[in-house]
Structure formats: C-alpha cells, structure tokens
Chain A
C-alpha cells in the first residue's frame, strides 16, 4: 500500500472528522445527483461573510457616527447563514456580537468583527486544505476515504 497515500488519507480523515460534524445537516442534502451541493452552499456563505463584514466594518468605522442598526442587521444575517450551513464558531461569535450591538459597545463590536473575520477565514482555509488533500489523494492514485460518523 502506498504509504504516501495512506498518510494523506489519514490526514484527510482527521480533517474530515472535525469538519464532518459541522456540516452533517448539509451533507444529508448532497447526493450523487448533486455532488457539489455542500461546496456551492459553503462558497455562497463565504461570499456572504465577506460582504457583510465589509459593510459592518464601514458602519463601525467612525466612532462618532456608528450605525448600530446597520451593524445589528449584518450580524443577524451572518448569524442566520452561519447557522444554516453549520458554521458553529462563526455563529457563536455572532451571539456575542449581537450583545455588543444591543448596548452600543463599539469596541466590543470591533473585536467581534475581527473574530468573525478570523473564524470564517479559518473555516475557508480548512475546507480548501481538505479539497487539496482530496486532489492529492486522487492524483497519487488513492481513493477518498469515506468517514462514517453516527
């Protein structure tokens, strides 16, 4: 058995286990007819994140003129879409983020904004790594391990 492939497969499995649980619900919606469903939804989610973070960043820019309503609306949307795809960490930051909005704490909001930005980018990177691993396994002649999570 090709040890390079075996090693890659193990790495893949580790990543997959942690991400699998996150996207369990979404994965139920994917099948042979729609093999790219999860990838497509997640991609839309990342675009959404980027857009919302930019908008909120602008709203928070000037300390004397923060539009907290706008920020709150952005947080609400982000919380909704992260919840829909299973991006748990992003969603959890949104909970704190909303609290900062409610009390009009600009500093708190800026910290949460930074955190949300970090979390979604981390997730994006992880998924990209997973995809790259998949490609490397296939190119090395191996098969993508199927992980069974009950």
Chain B
C-alpha cells in the first residue's frame, strides 16, 4: 500500500506549475517593531497572509507548542512558513527552530532564519538544524519572493513524490519506495537546490554554495 499517495495537485499539461492554491500563511517572529513592520509588508506584497509575533515564546504559544494547549486545535490557522530573526532576547531564532523541528506536528513547516550578522558558523548551525534558508538583513523583496517560490515549489513537489527536502535527519525513516533514501550526511536537497533563477540576490545562495564546499 503506497505511503506516498497523498492529495495530488492538478498539474496543467503544459507543465507550467503555477500554483494558484490558497495564500501561504506566514508566521513572522522578530523582537524589533521596525523589522516586524517591514517583513509584514514584504510578505503581504508577496501575496502571503501574515501573522507577526515579537518573541520565540509567543510564536510557540501561537502554534500551541507551549504546553498550555494541544497543537491539534489549530488546524484553521495552518502555518505554511515561519520566518524568524536570529538574535532575540529569551528564545533565539535557533532555539525556536529546534523546538519546531522537535515537534512531530510542526517539524514539516519550513523555517527561515534572518540575521543582520553574516556569521558562517551560525548559518551552518541553523541549516544543520533544518532551517530552509538563511537571509541577511535588511531583507529585500527579492529575498521574500525567492523564499516564497521555494516553499510553493516544495509543497508541489511534496504532493508529486513523497521526498521531503527536510535537511534534518529524521528520527524515523519514511518508507519511501518512490525515491532512494537520502544520504544521511548530505546537506543539499534535490528539490530546493534549483538555483537557476537566483541570479540577482546571491546573499543566501552564496552561503549555501560556500557551505556545500565545506561540508
């Protein structure tokens, strides 16, 4: 019995995968009120629904991961992407990332980290922990557009096959006969490394290629 037979997206015969599915709902986490306002606008322009919170703790609360409520009651508020600042008082973006990836309910949600500091070990750490991408602040419209395309493409790919582009090694193996099991130490992923369209804003792409030469 195929594990992979999930809902299929209608892919037009021409092959152009323009996704006209419901808007992405993004949870944006940043302790700076200025940055919250900017990221919210960037996401809205990119046709996303946005919820902003000012701390990692509030993000967990919103998702229902803070222990007070069960996560199951939040189906209506499905979050498709989490974008978080790295340096925040209390829970850092990295701490938040870890908590999300540790949750069986939420670990599939892509998490993108933002930081004003270009610190390679920090970036490595986040990508190793399963972050989808790492953006240098100030975040530009092109960064958000690129992330959105990535997420939308990933979701489409997930429907076509069942290979997830989750970089973190999962505790349980998914019994996936559709594609070969990914190598355990690989940091790259097949569906998200199509960088052909990413010419103009190399900030995170450069980091990725630097990293893959290191790892």
Please measure, in the bound complex, the distance between the C-alpha atom of A80 and the C-alpha atom of B116, giving whole angstroms. Answer: 7
Assess whether A85 is interfacial by the CB under 8 Å rule: yes
Known interface pairs A29-B38, A34-B41, A79-B116. Does A84 touch B138 (Cβ–Cβ under 8 Å)? yes
Assess whether B158 is interfacial by the CB under 8 Å rule: no
A residues contacting the other copy or chain, number (CB 8 A): 20
The residues of B that contact A81 with a CB separation of less than 8 Å are: 32, 34-35
Assess whether A99 is interfacial by the CB under 8 Å rule: no
Find out whether the CB atom of A83 lies under 8 angstroms from the CB atom of B37. no
Kindly provide the distance from the CB of B47 to the nearest chain A CB, expressed in whole angstroms. Answer: 13
Assess whether A76 is interfacial by the CB under 8 Å rule: yes
Q: Which of A3-11, A36-44, A102-110, A113-121 contacts B (4 or more CB under 8 A)?
A: A36-44
Which residues 83-101 of A sit at the B interface, judged by CB distance below 8 A?
Answer: 83-86
B75-107 vs A, CB cutoff 8 Å, 1 = contact: the mask equals 000000000000100000000000000000000
8 Å CB contact of B41 from A37, A45, A76, A77 = A37
Please measure, in the bound complex, the distance between the C-alpha atom of A84 and the C-alpha atom of B35, giving whole angstroms. Answer: 7
Known interface pairs A28-B141, A41-B37, A79-B116. Does A84 touch B32 (Cβ–Cβ under 8 Å)? yes
Assess whether B126 is interfacial by the CB under 8 Å rule: no
Please measure, in the bound complex, the distance between the C-alpha atom of A45 and the C-alpha atom of B137, giving whole angstroms. Answer: 16
B38-73 vs A, CB cutoff 8 Å, 1 = contact: the mask equals 100110010000000000000000000000000000
Known interface pairs A25-B138, A83-B116. Does A48 touch B34 (Cβ–Cβ under 8 Å)? yes
Find out whether the CB atom of A29 lies under 8 angstroms from the CB atom of B34. no
Assess whether B174 is interfacial by the CB under 8 Å rule: no
Which residues 133-156 of B sit at the A interface, judged by CB distance below 8 A?
Answer: 137-138, 140-141
The residues of A that contact B138 with a CB separation of less than 8 Å are: 25, 83-84, 86
Starting from the known contacts A80-B34, A84-B35, A86-B138, 11 additional A-B residue pairs (CB-CB under 8 Å) come to A25-B138, A28-B141, A41-B34, A41-B38, A44-B34, A45-B34, A48-B32, A48-B33, A77-B32, A83-B138, A84-B137
